[in-house]
Amino acid sequence: MIALDHVTKRYGNTAALDDVSLTLGDVGVTALLGPNGAGKSTLFSVVGRLVQADAGTVTIDGRDVAETPSSDLARTLAVLRQDNHIAARLTVHDLVEFGRFPHSKGRLTVEDRDHIERALDYLDLEPLRDRFLDELSGGQRQRAFVAMILAQDTRYVLLDEPLNNLDLRHMTEIMRLIRQLADEWGKTVIVVLHDINFAARYADRIVALRDGRVVADADVSGFMRPDVLADIYDSPVEVHQIDGKPVALYYE
Ligand SMILES: Nc1ncnc2c1ncn2[C@@H]1O[C@H](COP(=O)(O)OP(=O)(O)O)[C@@H](O)[C@H]1O
Ligand SMILES: [Mg+2]
């Protein structure tokens, strides 16, 4: 379980996270929603110890991340960041191999190679393995980054807006994969999404942030209610049942 206890992170006068207490990881897939600037990426950065909180603690399976050696943390938690500033002149295979680094320390074992091949295969990247990242479409590149995260083989997988730059078909492919990671690989996935309906269709639990605070936290049926959604988005939202699943309509 990932537990945030009274976590605050400020940038100047802005509290990107404002006294957040939250546990994550009790279900397979948790979706994190909220408008731009709500603090979603900051939450991932604090959990992954990429930035230090000003107050509060984060523990993973009872262990304070501030006192966890980096190599232990990297074998427990993988974070797909929203902006990947990674060298474009890297091949798909090199990138996925990079995901094994916390385990291999640069010397690949047979087991490391198995993980790399399995991740490449799982994301249908075999034909693209020797391509450079800047020779891929946005969707292919996103899949390569997800394969890197998969090769890291961590219990916790945090994905920050993995649907960015993807068309509808690739969005549903990534969401199905996320579901499989939880259901078949036993991973605990926390994923930042923008679309309420993707969250409702694929996640088990939805947490909404606004202004650095948790404003809603419920299972899908508890979240997909007009009163709850109107509160979060400050505008009327209709919820319809289609094939027994809730679908939100939020155009004016
Ligand atoms: N490195 C930074 N320096 C200054 N302000 C930042 C930095 N990172 C985030 N912020 C601010 O913190 C708030 C939360 O940002 P962020 O966590 O990126 O939100 P989200 O991912 O939900 O869009 C925003 O007001 C943003 O401008
Ligand atoms: Mg963000």
In this prediction, residue 137 carries a pLDDT of 85
Q: C-alpha angle with apex 87: 34 to 73, nearest 5 degrees?
A: 60
Shared domain check, 219 and 160: yes
Q: pLDDT tens-digit profile of 21-30?
A: 999 998 899 9
Q: 131 Cβ partners below 8 Å, 6+ apart?
A: 91, 92
Same domain, yes or no: 161 and 190: yes
CA–CA gap between residue 218 and residue 59 (Å, rounded): 22
Residues 66 and 24 occupy one common structural domain: yes
Ligand 1 pocket test, pick from 7, 8, 41 with the greatest ligand atom count within 8 Å of Cβ, gives: 41
Cα 209 to middle of ligand 1, angstroms: 13
What is residue 138's predicted lDDT score, i.e. its pLDDT? 81
Res 251: pLDDT:
67
Percent of the chain having pLDDT more than 70?
Answer: 97
Structure tokens at 95: 């990138």
Ligand 1 centroid–CA 14 distance in Å is: 9
Residues 177 and 126 grouped into a single domain: no
100 and 143 both lie in a single domain: yes
Quick check: CB of 42 below 6 Å from ligand 1? yes
> CATH no. for residue 231?
3.40.50.300
User: Do 62 and 112 sit in the same domain of this protein?
Assistant: no
Q: Which of residues 84 and 217 earns the better pLDDT score?
A: 217
Task: Determine the Cα–Cα distance for residues 250 and 232; give it in Å rounded to an integer.
Answer: 12
Q: Are 112 and 150 in contact (CB under 8 A)?
A: no
- Would you say residue 45 has pLDDT above 60? yes
End-of-domain residue from the set 123, 153, 183: 153
Same domain, 71 and 175: yes
What is the four-CA torsion angle of 25, 30, 33, 38, rounded to 10 degrees? 10
Whether pLDDT at 244 is above 90:
no
Expressed in angstroms and rounded, the spacing between residue 48 Cα and the centre of ligand 2 is 14
* Total of domains in the chain: 2
| Whole-angstrom distance, CA of residue 68 vs CA of residue 227 | 41
Which ligand 1 atom lies nearest to the CA of residue 36? 23
> Ligand nearest 14 Cα, by number?
1
Confidence of residue 53 (pLDDT cuts 50, 70, 90): very high
The range of the structural domain enclosing residue 138 comes to 84-153
Using a cut of 0.95, tell me whether the model's pTM lies above it: no
- How does the average pLDDT of the chain come out, rounded? 92
Point out the ligand nearest to the CA of residue 17.
Answer: 1
Kindly list the protein residues that place their beta carbon closer than 5 angstroms to ligand 2, a single-atom ion: 40-41, 82
Q: pLDDT (tens digit, 9 = 90+) per residue, 185-241? A: 899 999 999 999 999 999 999 999 999 999 999 999 999 999 999 888 888 899 999
CB of residue 45 inside a 6 A radius of ligand 1: no
**Residue 252 and residue 249: Cα distance in Å, rounded?**
9
Q: Are residues 64 and 159 in the same domain?
A: yes
What is the per-residue pLDDT across 141-189, written as a single tens digit (0 to 9) for each?
888 999 999 999 999 999 999 998 788 888 898 899 999 999 998 999 9
Same domain, 142 and 167: no
| Parallel, antiparallel or unpaired: strands 55-60 and 63-64 | antiparallel
- Write out pLDDT tens, residues 109-128: 999 999 999 999 988 899 99
